[in-house]
Amino acid sequence: MAISDAITVADDFLKLSKLNRRPITPLQLMKLVYIAHGFTLALLDEDLFSDEIQAWKYGPVIPRLYHATKQFGRGPVPFEMIGDAPVSIHGPAAAIIRQVWEKYGVLSGYALSQLTHADGTPWSQVYDEFRYDVPIGDGLIREHYLELLSDRASRPAAA
């Protein structure tokens, strides 16, 4: 069973955006939600959300979230459209969302896209240029993020 849904996760990222006065675009939002899902699968062995993720031309896309935010185009989601209620997700998943925000929230949509659809990513393993509806399975996502965590753990600490 999933902890939440993609729209609620996105809403929590938008609240962090507003709180930190750091606007984010729909593209950034999409990638942050995806990355948080990946780390949640790897660290908690749980789905952050059950919404389907698909391999589109420019990387992993959560169709439901795409349709909810496409009206903003390439511009940031306006702060006045973001509620002031506290974040909805609590516990370990909330900590992962905050950590993803702190580490990746400063990156541009382009930089986040480069990360999520590089060679070896789940997207690159299933993408088919002739289809826009190929699902990216949670198993692939989980394995990729476990590998990322393992790579980080095996590096020597910076001096």
Name the domain count of the chain. 1
Q: For position 78, what pLDDT does the model report?
A: 93
pLDDT at 21 over 60: yes
pLDDT at 82 over 90: no
Burial class (CB in 10 A: 0-12, 13-18, 19+), 155: exposed
Range of the domain at 48: 6-154
- The average pLDDT across 66-87 equals 91
- Asked if residue 88 is part of any domain, the answer here is yes
- Asked if residue 75 is part of any domain, the answer here is yes
- Asked if residue 40 is part of any domain, the answer here is yes
- Asked if residue 101 is part of any domain, the answer here is yes
pLDDT at 156 over 70: no
- What confidence category does residue 56 fall into, taking pLDDT thresholds of 50, 70 and 90? very high
Give the mean pLDDT of the chain: 93
103: how many CB neighbours lie within 10 A of its CB? 12
- The average pLDDT across 93-101 equals 97
- Asked if residue 23 is part of any domain, the answer here is yes
Instruction: Output the pTM of the full model.
Output: 0.94
Q: For position 159, what pLDDT does the model report?
A: 43
- Asked if residue 34 is part of any domain, the answer here is yes
pLDDT at 18 over 80: yes
- Asked if residue 1 is part of any domain, the answer here is no
- Asked if residue 26 is part of any domain, the answer here is yes
- What confidence category does residue 158 fall into, taking pLDDT thresholds of 50, 70 and 90? very low
